[in-house]
Every structure is written in C-alpha cells, then in structure tokens.
C-alpha cells in the first residue's frame, strides 16, 4: 500500500546551491567538506565541516522583507523561504492551489545557533528569532492551512517529520504536506560538546564504513520535499513512500548516544516481509552511516540481521554523509534527495573514502552486504530503496521509497508549444532556455513548466515566453550504422592516457550506449600526446548526433588524459560533427572529472531537431485595458492553416460546429474544409459558415487561455462572432446567421449585381477626390480603405489613386457587400433572421460595432442584436478606423485576423501610445499572441494547449535548479567569536560617561557628549572610526555637568541612532553613519578657527582681515573638540 507520493524536491548542501549541483558533486566524487567558519584548531575542534555557499545572500525584495528585517531575521528562515519555494516550483503545483487546499507544514530542526545573537541584539525587527517560532514565521509567508509543527528528534528529525506528515495524509488531516529540514553550523559551542563526547572526527574526514572511521563531520544542509495524499493531486511523482516507521531505544543502559542493534533490526523487520515489502526486492539501502566505529558496525549488522536473508546477491548500501558530512536534523531529507536523484539518473553514486571495511561489520566478508564504492547502475524498471535515519537521542526511523514509473510513452507528437516564463533575472531566462533545448522533445515536461510557478508568478521581475517547434520525425530504416570516430589527444605535457576509453553516442532517436573503444574494428587504443586515433563503430542508428559522453576508467600507469577534440562521421547521413573539449579527464587535474559530455559545434542540415525560441522583457507594465478586434472575414478566400487543429479546444469547437451543421442537414464539415485548405469566393455561403466557425474556435481558445478582454470590436461580418462573445447569440445561432447571410450574398452574385472590390492605400483626406462613383465599403485605418468600383469607371478612379500617390490591389472581381440591398431581398433575409433570433438580446457596453456606432445606440434596432441589426449590417459601410480610434489612448488592441493574406484587414492603430498585437490563423501566431499578452502582464493558462497526460514520473528532471534569485546583496554572518562567553563578558551592554571627565569642569558639556557618543558608537574610545553624527537634539536644561553624572549612552545599531539618558531625562539624541571613505575634517589635527564667526561682516571684509586663532592638536579628541566648540 502506498502511503504518500513525493511530488517535489529542493535543497542546498555544502558546495551545492541546488539539487543539480548536489548530484554532480556526488557522481564526480567531490568531497563537499571544507574549512570551518572559525579558525583552525579553535578549542581543539576538527578543522573541517560542510558549508552551504553564499549563506549571506537572500532575496529580500521577493519575499517582501525590508533590508532591516532581512539583516536581522533568522538565517534558517532565509534559507527555508527560498528552498521551500524551489520545491513548490519543482512539484509543478502553484502556491494558490496549495494555499486553497489543506496543506501541512513540518519543520525538522534541532539547532538554531544564531538565536542567541539575534535575540540579544537591539533591533527593530518584527521577528522573534527563536527556533520554536521558525515554522510559524515560515508559514506567515506561505499561508498553508493544514497542520504546522516543528519536529526535533535530533539526527532523525527529518524522518520523524516525514512520518508525522504521512500519518496526517493518511488520516485526511491534510492533502499535501511540505516537509522541511534545516541545519547550519555557525557556533563552535555545540561542536565543543560533541567533541568532548568523542562523536566528531578529529581530522574532519568522513570515513563511513571504513576501518579508519573516527567520528562524523558536522555539516550544513536544507532540504524540502512535497508529499501528496493521492496521485490525482500531483503534476509529477518522483517516488512513493511505500511505508515508514519510527521507534525509540533511548532508555538503554549504554546511554542515549549509543545505538542499539536489536532496536534497529526490529524496526526493519516491522516494515519488510512476505506480506509487506519483500527484502529480495530491495535495490539499495541508504544507511544512516555517520562514520563512527560503533554506529557503522551496529547499523550494518542490524541491516544484515533483518534484510539479507533470502537474497541472491549482496545488498548494496551507502551513505551520503561520506560525501557531504552529517547535516543532523536535515540528514534524513538529504538522504531522500540523494535516493530520488539516483532513481532519476538510474545510478547510485559512490561512497567516498571507503577502502578497507570496518572489521566489526559482519555482512561484508560474508558477501551479504556490499558498500557502493563506485557508481552503480540500477537494474529493472522499478527501484525500491530503504533509508535509515537514527537520532542520538534514541529515535530510529526508516522509510521505503519506490520509484514511480508510467507506462511506456507514446510516440512524440509534433507541433508548436508555448511555455510562459516568469523569472527573477536574465540568468533564469538562460537556464530555462538551455533546459528547454535539452529536453525539447518532452512535451509533458513543457506542460509541467507551463503549469508551474515558473510560468505564473506575478512577483517575478521578468516575463516572457518560449515557443518550441517539434517537427514531424521521419524514421530512417537503417538499423545499424557505421560511425567513424576520430579522437585527438591534446598537446599538453602528460596528455596521453593508458586508461580504457569509452564513448556513448546520443542522438535524436536513441543512445548507442557505452562503447569500449578497444572493441572497435580498428582495435586501437593509443591516445598518445598530440595524436589522432580513428575508430570504426558499428552500432544502432542514433539519428542526428546531439551529444557524446566520453571518459575512461582511470586505470593504468598514467590514467590522466587531456582530450583535444572528437569528430564523428555518420555513414547513413554522410555528415561529420566536431565536438571540442580542450580539458583534462583526470582525478588530479582540472575539476577532477574523468567523464565529460561534449556538444557538437554544428548541426546536420537535415536535422529534425526541435527549435526553441525565447522572448522576454523586464517587468515595467501596469494594468491597461485590453480590447479584442475581430477583423472582417468577408474578404477571406481560403481556410486558415490546418495546424490549428493541434489545439484541442479549437478542434472541439469545430467538431461542435460540424455537429450543429449536421443537425441542420447541411452537407458541410468545417474540420474537413480546414484539413483540405478549402478555397472559396469572398463572402459566399460556405466561406462565411466555415470562417465564422473558425472565429468561434479561436475565441474559445482565448477564453480557455484566461484572456478576458475589457471590450470587443466587431468589424463587418465578424460582428456575428462578437455577438457570440457578448452572449447575444449562441453557437448554433451564429452558424445559422452566417448561413442566411451567405445565401443572400450568393443570390445577389448570381444576379450579376456585384462590382470589383479594391484595397486602396490613400490618405483619407484625398478620398473625396475619387468622385461619387467610388463606393467606400470599409475604412480600415487612416490610409487603407476598401472600395467597390463600377466597371466602367474603374480605370479612371485607379488612375486618380496613382496620381494622388496611392497604391491599390484587387480583392475580388465582384461583391455585393456593405451596400444597399434590393428591398425584396432585404425583407426575405430579415424574415430568416427573425426565425433564427426570435428574442434578440441587447448588446452590452463591451460590444462596439464598426457598422453601428455607439452614437446611435439610443435606437432599439441598433442596440438589440436581431434581424434588423444584421440586415442593416450588410448595407452599411464599415468604419473600423473610427471605432478603433475611439478607444482609450492607453488601451491595448488584440487584433484577430483569420485571413492568410491580411493586406486589407491588418490595422495599425492611428493613436500613439496604443499597443497592438496581431493574431493570425496559425498555431505559431496564436501561441505568440498569448505569449505577448503574458509578457505584457496578462494572466494566461496554457495547460489546455498540451495533450492530456498522467502525472510525470521519475524519468522527469527536476525543475528546482531553474529557480534563480536576486542575490546581489551579501549580508554579514554572525562571527564565531560572538558566541563566546569570554568575548561577551568583556563587552559592555551600554556605555557610561566616565566620571573622570565629568569631574574636570573645564570641558564643555556638549564636547563631552559628542566625544563619548562617538566612542559609544564605535565600541570604545580606543577603537574610534570615521563617523558622522547628525540630527542631534539636546535638552538645554540638562546640559550641565552636574546633570550628567551616571549618564548612559544607548546605541541602536539597526536604526543607526543613539540616545544619552541621565537621571533627569534624555539629554541628547542623534543618528550616525559611517562614510565609505575618510572625511577631510576634523581628522586633520589643528586648523584655524574664525573667532568672529558669528559676527556680521560687510562685503568689504577680505579673507586676510578675518581674525583667527589656531586650535592646536594635543593628542586628545576631547581637548580638541572642546577647544573648537
């Protein structure tokens, strides 16, 4: 039985800013430990620990924190705020959905070192920096409505928190659970206690399971996982928690820090068995494995007792603490993150520093247990892993992870897809673009991004969108292809290698898999300095090469290798790719990697690789009204592009139109007409019905995408569609109206009453010169109009257009539209329309007509969208220019034009300040339109543009590494010495005016106060720094020496202010600041003082006539300032 579903993960670990960097460090065998935050050798503490990088950074603006709050809030809270958000992004869920549901928040935290510093500092922060309030402060921002709690069972806190969350999910107390764990090593004090107990490694090295194990190494870590109650609530699922349990043995005689073999084995037996999870199905166990002699021995012996019977092969074990140290309260979640990443990548990273097994581990020599000392590839489609987590207080925990795998994917679906983007900075844009280019064939992954916070967060500073075009793949019949691989070794000293080199060719069809170059047909493996080795590889067709993975096994006398470049030639495509490297593949050179991924410099011209295009802009938008202009369909002669059927909402709308037409016994399928690209004369029955159905389908796409215009403009026959938008007509009525109007126009054309129609580009001021026989049908904008020209006068009128500097083009040979109809035909049309619209509805103020101006809205026939309305529509000129020009200046115009060639209908706004977006009848244009609206700040929903899919499984890469932050400010961290009592005892909480200075009556009280306020701000008179005191306010009646005895100076560092208080009250208040560079005065000792400074001077006074007195420096600031005053 599945207990919970893991939907999102995120974390920060030593030398790892995200889970992607964490995984890379694991597979590369990087020792993530480094120097401690205090001096080496301090109190005999170990010299190394694990430290999260860039700990002083925090995106305060994003979370709405002032700089003061950001500087003084708990460092754990700053980490948790950001990493929790990253986990939400990773899950594909949105904050609004988590906040609206029952979501629990569980925090595993044992130590909060900085509390003693932040709580003793005088600040104006609103936060109470206590570990007990940390989870509440975290939830103040996230606003989850489920259970909220802090869990502390020492090193097993994470798994204990997971167990509580799973229990709450099962019982229905919550539907989602956000489980967090955090640990920071800031103070040396706790490490001193652990060191006295012999728990820490003296040399700061983590030799887990090794005979040289001598203690664990403390480490930072923060990790967050999101659990869901059932799969229907998930957008993605990495793995399921098949079972989880905890027990306690803290009462044993050996003490709470000593582990119990029997208690651990009993816990494991309670979770595994024939009726539960069979031990034979276990692929791997992530042990607690801290690197202590007793802990490692007893844990692996307990694993052998409970899990190794009946297995055909040794049980694989490892511990992430060998790579990064022990992050204590967060250690259980760090193990979960490692296992989830192992499931995704299909391999378990090596356990570092393991050479000779601990002699007390019984299962290793018996062949029942094997420590993973090299990267191990997982077998089988489903992987089951166990995770141990034990607390030094005696609480033991274990959970069972089972990888979540969907059935095999369907063939890739070609088409164009839209991915909206909301990110913090340009780095975020680059990350997403690189990610989409790498995974562009994964449509379900693009859908996940489009539904996640990466696409819909209004707090982000950059909005944009990516369009991904997936071409239709044409499979090549060749099953086996010969590849000529040329490997050039660099010319650096010692560049050659004796190791065994392998290569993996990866293309758009498949991967070749790992190929040992020794087994190639050339059977050469020289790889000498400056030489090129050629290999013939016969393998499966990988298609167009996208990348290669090349490396070696690090064996041989001289394994280090400097690789210059590689070329790969495909016999089937007759194309050669060049893949540059120019780096070492060596454990002791460069970055220590012996395997590298190389990308080709150029693409094959026949490549069917997807195309990713990204558009973005900084956020500087404000709300502007959006108006939808539906351009006239009267002059369209072809159906729009058939790729619109890729959009399911559009396709369903057309199918509904077909259903309606069948019910009317009309032998016409709009869907088939679109697929065939049907052609027809302008403004005829078939064309009007089909194009009206297409228009309705497009507006349905806009509706489904969340586009809610502030108003609609109908132009010509497209007012039928706008009437549908304004709820004046239903879907069936729209098609019926289009059919009735089309039949009327066909009847007129059959009588030969039409005239040729031209699109004329000429400024409106010259229109009157064309003469009365020019019948203007539509004013599209200030320079473009449509005119019906009598055949007899056509050449004369067109010549006048040319003479006036205009241009023209013929739209149709004959048309009878937007001109007066014969009375009999008009009455027949109105009769049909009354039967279609028996109860006309009035159009709302959102509906603006280009044929029925709002100035005539007092007429009932103009306001009600019924038979007279549409009959009149056919007989009136369309004034699109006037209608668009009447919009607010700041309005945005979305122009929907379904004609493929829009020379006559594409309108550019005549008013400055208006933004216009043109949407054309093609999927690419529709998606770009939605993307542009998103970029301008409109909320869009694009999930419906993707094929439906089940929750993504463990084969989907994490999204959390795509999140970027504004980390431009690096705030200072607490210094180790602030945690020392000896340092604290030497410092005074408040500064007291020295009695010795007060007893000497020769000093001006103001001089005394200024000098000692300066000293208080700087800490003491012996540590004076450049300081500006300003905004000084004094109480004159207290400015006497006898009133200053016992006066105290209080300094508020956060507010950069001070106050001096005596028994009689506040003597002086003021503020201070520390300039970036030294000021010129008064640090230069001694300068001339104008004795007559306050005496009025005439203009005749010259500088040399001013009476001055030199103030002499006597090695005392008090003397000096007193003399100046």
At residue 594, the pLDDT reads 93
Rounded to whole angstroms, the Cα distance separating 725 from 720 reads: 9
Pairing status of strand 501-507 against strand 545-552: antiparallel
Choose one of 345, 371, 403: the last residue of a domain. 403
Q: Are 527 and 533 in contact (CB under 8 A)?
A: yes
Residues 299 and 199 in one domain: yes
Residues 604 and 675 in one domain: no
Phi, psi of 489 (to 5 degrees): -80, 140
Average pLDDT over residues 1086-1108: 52
Query: Which DSSP state fits 398?
Result: E
Give domain status of residue 46, yes or no: yes
Rounded to whole angstroms, the Cα distance separating 83 from 928 reads: 32
* The dihedral sign for the CA sequence 875, 881, 882, 887: positive
| Per-residue confidence band for 783, with pLDDT thresholds at 50, 70 and 90 | confident
Report pLDDT digits (tens) over 921-957.
889 999 999 999 999 999 999 999 998 888 999 999 9
| Per-residue confidence band for 542, with pLDDT thresholds at 50, 70 and 90 | confident
In 471-598, where do the E strands start and end? 480-489, 501-507, 515-516, 532-540, 545-552, 561-570, 575-585, 595-598
Give domain status of residue 1024, yes or no: yes
Among the options 127, 207, 288, 353, which is catalytic? 288
At residue 450, the pLDDT reads 95
Average pLDDT over residues 749-769: 80
357: Cβ contacts below 8 Å, ≥ 6 apart: 209, 210, 211, 364, 365, 371
Measured from the Cβ of residue 123, the count of other Cβ atoms closer than 10 Å reads 18
Residues 636 and 545 in one domain: no
Residues 376 and 521 in one domain: no
Residues 637 and 571 in one domain: no
CATH number at residue 352: 3.40.47.10
Which of the two residues, 819 and 334, has the higher pLDDT score? 334
- Among candidate residues 472, 435, 473, the one with its CA nearest the CA of residue 646: 472
At residue 1088, the pLDDT reads 54
Percentage of the chain modeled with pLDDT above 90: 53
Question: Which range scores top for mean pLDDT: 66-75, 144-153, 796-805, 888-897?
Answer: 144-153
Among the options 155, 174, 234, 734, which is catalytic? 155
- Whether the predicted pLDDT of 905 surpasses 50: no
At residue 987, the pLDDT reads 43
Report pLDDT digits (tens) over 816-867.
788 888 888 899 999 999 999 999 999 998 999 998 875 444 444 457 899 9
Is 1050 known to be catalytic? no
Residues 577 and 679 in one domain: no
Residues 315 and 192 in one domain: yes
Rounded to whole angstroms, the Cα distance separating 859 from 865 reads: 12
Average pLDDT over residues 754-764: 84
Report pLDDT digits (tens) over 257-283.
778 899 999 999 999 987 788 999 999
Is 155 known to be catalytic? yes
Give domain status of residue 919, yes or no: no
Choose one of 564, 582, 609: the last residue of a domain. 609
Q: Are 750 and 744 in contact (CB under 8 A)?
A: no
Give domain status of residue 460, yes or no: no
- Whether the predicted pLDDT of 95 surpasses 50: yes
| Per-residue confidence band for 39, with pLDDT thresholds at 50, 70 and 90 | confident
Residues 637 and 589 in one domain: no
- Whether the predicted pLDDT of 902 surpasses 60: no
Measured from the Cβ of residue 1107, the count of other Cβ atoms closer than 10 Å reads 8
| Per-residue confidence band for 709, with pLDDT thresholds at 50, 70 and 90 | very high
| Per-residue confidence band for 563, with pLDDT thresholds at 50, 70 and 90 | very high
CATH number at residue 562: 2.60.60.20
Report pLDDT digits (tens) over 877-886.
999 888 888 8
- Whether the predicted pLDDT of 782 surpasses 90: no
- Whether the predicted pLDDT of 611 surpasses 90: no
**Residues in the chain, how many?**
1125
Rounded to whole angstroms, the Cα distance separating 253 from 394 reads: 12
Give domain status of residue 119, yes or no: yes
- Look at the block and give the residue holding tokens 């559009």: 650
Pairing status of strand 1065-1073 against strand 1057-1062: antiparallel
Average pLDDT over residues 330-346: 97
* The dihedral sign for the CA sequence 321, 325, 328, 333: negative
Give domain status of residue 423, yes or no: no
Rounded to whole angstroms, the Cα distance separating 384 from 281 reads: 7
Choose one of 403, 428, 462: the last residue of a domain. 403
At residue 608, the pLDDT reads 54
* H or E element that contains 103: strand 103-108
Residues 632 and 546 in one domain: no
Percentage of the chain modeled with pLDDT above 70: 88
Average pLDDT over residues 31-60: 92
Residues 599 and 737 in one domain: no
At residue 983, the pLDDT reads 42
Specify the number of domains making up the chain. Answer: 4
3-state secondary structure of 670: helix
Q: What is the mean pLDDT of the chain?
A: 86
Report pLDDT digits (tens) over 66-91.
988 888 888 999 999 999 999 999 99
At residue 408, the pLDDT reads 74
At residue 256, the pLDDT reads 67
Give domain status of residue 15, yes or no: yes
Rounded to whole angstroms, the Cα distance separating 870 from 1106 reads: 95
- Whether the predicted pLDDT of 326 surpasses 90: yes
In 957-1012, where do the E strands start and end? 991-992
Which of the two residues, 560 and 608, has the higher pLDDT score? 560
Rounded to whole angstroms, the Cα distance separating 637 from 640 reads: 10
Average pLDDT over residues 1063-1087: 68
| Per-residue confidence band for 767, with pLDDT thresholds at 50, 70 and 90 | confident
Among the options 72, 127, 326, 881, which is catalytic? 326
Report pLDDT digits (tens) over 159-203.
999 999 999 999 999 999 999 999 999 998 889 888 888 899 999
Which of the two residues, 1104 and 232, has the higher pLDDT score? 232
Domain coverage including residue 670: 626-753+816-913
| Per-residue confidence band for 121, with pLDDT thresholds at 50, 70 and 90 | low
Report pLDDT digits (tens) over 343-361.
999 999 999 999 999 999 9
Average pLDDT over residues 231-260: 87
CATH number at residue 708: 3.40.366.10
At residue 1054, the pLDDT reads 62
| HEC secondary structure over 471-492 | CCCCCCCCCEEEEEEEEEECCC
At residue 980, the pLDDT reads 63
Q: Are 12 and 83 in contact (CB under 8 A)?
A: yes
Give domain status of residue 1000, yes or no: yes
Measured from the Cβ of residue 372, the count of other Cβ atoms closer than 10 Å reads 20
Residues 598 and 661 in one domain: no
Average pLDDT over residues 559-574: 90
Beta bridge partners of 396: 247, 390
Cis peptide before 867 (omega within 30 of 0): no
Residues 675 and 564 in one domain: no
CA 753 to chain centre: 62
Is 398 known to be catalytic? no
């Amino acid at each position: 039985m599945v207990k919970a579903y893991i939907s999102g993960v995120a974390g920060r670990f030593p030398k790892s800013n995200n889970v992607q960097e964490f995984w890379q460090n694991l597979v590369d065998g990087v020792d993530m430990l480094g120097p401690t935050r205090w001096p080496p050798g301090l109190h005999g503490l170990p010299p190394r620990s694990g430290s999260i990088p860039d700990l002083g950074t925090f995106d305060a603006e994003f979370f709405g924190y002032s700089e003061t709050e950001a500087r003084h809030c708990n460092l754990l809270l700053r980490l948790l705020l950001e990493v929790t958000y990253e986990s939400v992004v990773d899950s594909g869920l949105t904050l609004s959905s988590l906040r609206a549901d029952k979501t629990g928040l569980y925090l595993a935290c044992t130590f909060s070192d900085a509390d003693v510093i932040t709580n003793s500092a005088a600040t104006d922060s609103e936060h109470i920096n206590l570990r007990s309030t940390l989870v509440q402060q975290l939830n103040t921002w996230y606003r989850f409505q489920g259970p909220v709690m802090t869990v502390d069972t020492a090193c097993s806190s994470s798994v204990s928190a997971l167990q509580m969350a799973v229990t709450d999910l099962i019982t229905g107390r919550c539907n989602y659970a956000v489980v967090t764990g955090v640990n920071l090593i800031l103070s040396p004090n706790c490490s001193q206690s652990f060191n006295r107990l012999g728990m820490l490694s003296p040399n700061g090295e983590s030799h887990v399971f090794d005979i040289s194990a001598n203690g664990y190494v403390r480490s930072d870590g923060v990790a967050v996982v999101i659990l869901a109650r059932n799969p229907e609530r998930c957008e993605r699922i990495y793995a399921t928690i098949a079972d989880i349990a905890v027990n306690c043995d803290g009462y044993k005689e050996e003490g709470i820090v000593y582990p119990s073999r029997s208690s651990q084995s009993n816990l494991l037996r309670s979770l595994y068995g024939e009726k539960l999870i069979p031990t034979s199905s276990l692929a791997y166990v992530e042990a607690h494995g801290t690197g202590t002699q007793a802990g490692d021995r007893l844990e692996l012996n307990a694993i052998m007792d409970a899990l190794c019977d009946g297995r055909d092969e040794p049980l694989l074990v490892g511990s992430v603490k060998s790579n990064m140290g022990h992050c204590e309260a967060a250690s259980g979640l760090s193990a979960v993150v490692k296992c989830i990443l192992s499931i995704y990548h299909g391999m378990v990273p090596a356990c570092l520093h393991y050479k000779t097994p601990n002699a007390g581990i019984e299962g290793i020599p018996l062949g029942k247990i094997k420590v993973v000392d090299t990267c191990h590839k997982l077998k089988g489609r489903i992987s089951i892993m166990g995770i141990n987590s034990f607390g030094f207080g005696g609480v033991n925990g274990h959970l069972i992870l089972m990888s979540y795998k969907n059935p095999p994917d369907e063939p890739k679906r070609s088409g164009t897809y839209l991915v909206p983007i909301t990110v913090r900075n340009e780095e975020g844009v680059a990350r997403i673009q690189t990610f989409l280019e790498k995974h562009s064939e994964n449509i379900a992954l693009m859908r996940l991004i489009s539904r996640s916070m990466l696409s819909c967060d209004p707090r982000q500073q950059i909005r944009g969108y990516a369009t991904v075009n997936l071409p239709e793949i044409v499979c090549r019949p060749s099953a086996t292809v010969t590849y000529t691989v040329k490997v050039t070794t660099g010319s650096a000293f010692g560049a050659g290698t004796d190791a065994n080199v392998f290569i993996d060719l990866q293309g758009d069809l498949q991967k070749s898999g790992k190929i040992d170059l020794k087994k190639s047909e050339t059977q050469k493996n020289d790889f000498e300095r400056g030489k090129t080795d050629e290999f013939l590889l016969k393998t499966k067709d990988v298609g167009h090469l996208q990348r290669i993975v090349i490396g070696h096994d690090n064996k041989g006398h001289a394994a280090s290798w400097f690789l210059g470049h590689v070329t790969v030639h495909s016999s089937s495509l007759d194309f050669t790719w060049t893949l540059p490297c120019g780096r070492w593949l060596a454990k002791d050179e460069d970055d220590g990697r012996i395997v590298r991924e190389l990308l080709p410099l150029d693409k094959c011209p026949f490549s069917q690789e997807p195309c990713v295009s990204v558009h973005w802009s900084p956020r500087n938008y404000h709300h502007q009204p959006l108006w939808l202009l539906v351009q006239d369909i009267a002059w369209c002669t072809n159906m729009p592009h058939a790729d619109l059927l890729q959009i399911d909402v559009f396709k369903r709308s057309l199918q509904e139109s077909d259903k309606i037409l069948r019910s009317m016994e009309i032998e016409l399928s709009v869907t088939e007409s679109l697929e065939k690209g049907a052609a027809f004369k302008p403004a005829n029955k078939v064309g009007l019905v089909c194009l009206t159905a297409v228009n309705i389908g497009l507006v349905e796409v806009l509706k489904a995408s969340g586009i809610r215009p502030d108003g609609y403009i109908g132009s010509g026959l497209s007012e039928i569609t706008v009437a549908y938008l304004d709820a004046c007509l239903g879907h069936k009525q729209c098609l019926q109206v289009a059919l009735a109007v089309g039949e009327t126009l066909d009847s007129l054309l059959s009588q030969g009453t039409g005239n040729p129609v031209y699109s004329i580009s000429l400024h409106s001021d010259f229109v009157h010169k064309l003469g009365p026989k020019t019948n203007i049908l539509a004013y599209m904008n200030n320079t473009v109009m449509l005119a019906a020209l009598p055949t007899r006068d056509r050449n004369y009128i067109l010549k006048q257009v040319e003479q006036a500097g205009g241009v023209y083009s013929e739209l149709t040979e004959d048309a009878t539209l937007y001109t007066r109809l014969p009375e009999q035909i008009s009455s027949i049309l109105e009769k049909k329309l009354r039967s279609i619209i028996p109860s006309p509805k009035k159009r709302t103020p959102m509906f603006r007509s280009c044929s029925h101006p709002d100035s005539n809205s007092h007429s009932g026939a103009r306001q009600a969208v019924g038979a007279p309305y549409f009959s009149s529509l056919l007989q009136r000129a369309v004034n699109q220019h006037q209608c668009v020009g009447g919009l607010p200046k700041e309005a945005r115009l979305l122009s929907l034009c379904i004609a493929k060639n829009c020379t006559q209908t594409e309108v550019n706004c005549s008013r400055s300040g208006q933004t216009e977006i043109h949407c054309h009848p093609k999927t690419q244009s529709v998606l770009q339109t939605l993307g542009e609206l998103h970029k301008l700040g409109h909320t869009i929903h694009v999930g419906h543009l993707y094929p439906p899919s089940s929750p993504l499984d463990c084969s989907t890469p994490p999204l959390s590494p795509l999140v970027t932050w504004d980390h431009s400010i690096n705030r200072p961290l607490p210094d180790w010495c602030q945690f020392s009592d000896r340092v604290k005892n030497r410092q005074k909480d408040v500064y007291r005016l020295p009695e010795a200075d007060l007893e000497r009556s020769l000093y001006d009280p103001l001089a005394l106060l200024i000098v000692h306020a300066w000293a208080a701000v700087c800490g003491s008179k012996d540590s004076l720094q450049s300081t500006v005191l300003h905004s000084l306010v004094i109480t004159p009646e207290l400015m006497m020496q006898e009133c200053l005895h016992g006066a105290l100076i209080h300094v508020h560092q956060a507010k950069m202010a001070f106050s001096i208080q005596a028994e009689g009250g506040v003597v002086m208040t003021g503020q201070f600041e520390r300039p970036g560079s030294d000021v010129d005065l008064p640090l230069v000792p001694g300068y001339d003082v104008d004795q007559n400074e306050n005496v009025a001077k005439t203009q005749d006074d010259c500088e040399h006539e001013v009476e001055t007195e030199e103030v002499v420096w006597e090695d005392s600031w008090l003397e000096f300032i007193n003399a100046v005053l």
